[in-house]
């Protein structure tokens, strides 16, 4: 089950369960749309995978399975992230 992390790992923007700005990779690294698509150009700086929009857990299910309250704030080294992006940006995610 997804943790539904409460913030962007890079800029620390709040991303509650109801946010349509939350983006995740397959390891559930969580970023806001601006960081995921503009800063990292759809290449996860941790695993090099792509990002997808995080689903919103319904109000009924969020009561039973609450979103995480543990913030993960690990701003990335933009120089290293840029090198990683340059390696993978022209390779389709399924071929990385």
Residue for token digits 């109801």? Answer: 18
Calculate the dihedral angle through the C-alpha atoms of 12, 3, 48, 10, rounding to the nearest 10 degrees: 0
pLDDT of residue 7: 99
DSSP code per residue over 19-36: -SSEEE-TT--EEEHIII
pTM equals 0.94
Label residue 15 exposed, middle or buried (CB < 10 Å: 0-12, 13-18, 19+): buried
For the record, the structure tokens of 88 come out as 């993978």
42-73: per-residue pLDDT in tens?
999 999 999 999 999 999 999 999 999 999 99
Residue 5, φ and ψ in degrees, nearest 5: -60, 145
């Amino acid at each position: 089950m997804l943790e539904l992390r409460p913030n962007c790992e890079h800029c620390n923007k709040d991303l509650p369960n109801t946010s349509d700005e939350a983006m995740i990779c397959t390891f559930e690294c969580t970023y806001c749309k601006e960081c995921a698509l503009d800063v990292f150009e759809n290449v996860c700086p941790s695993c090099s995978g792509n990002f997808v929009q995080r689903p919103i857990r319904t109000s009924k299910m969020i009561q039973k399975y609450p979103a995480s309250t543990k913030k993960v704030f690990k701003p990335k080294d933009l120089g290293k992230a840029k090198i990683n992006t340059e390696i993978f940006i022209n390779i389709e995610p399924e071929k990385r």
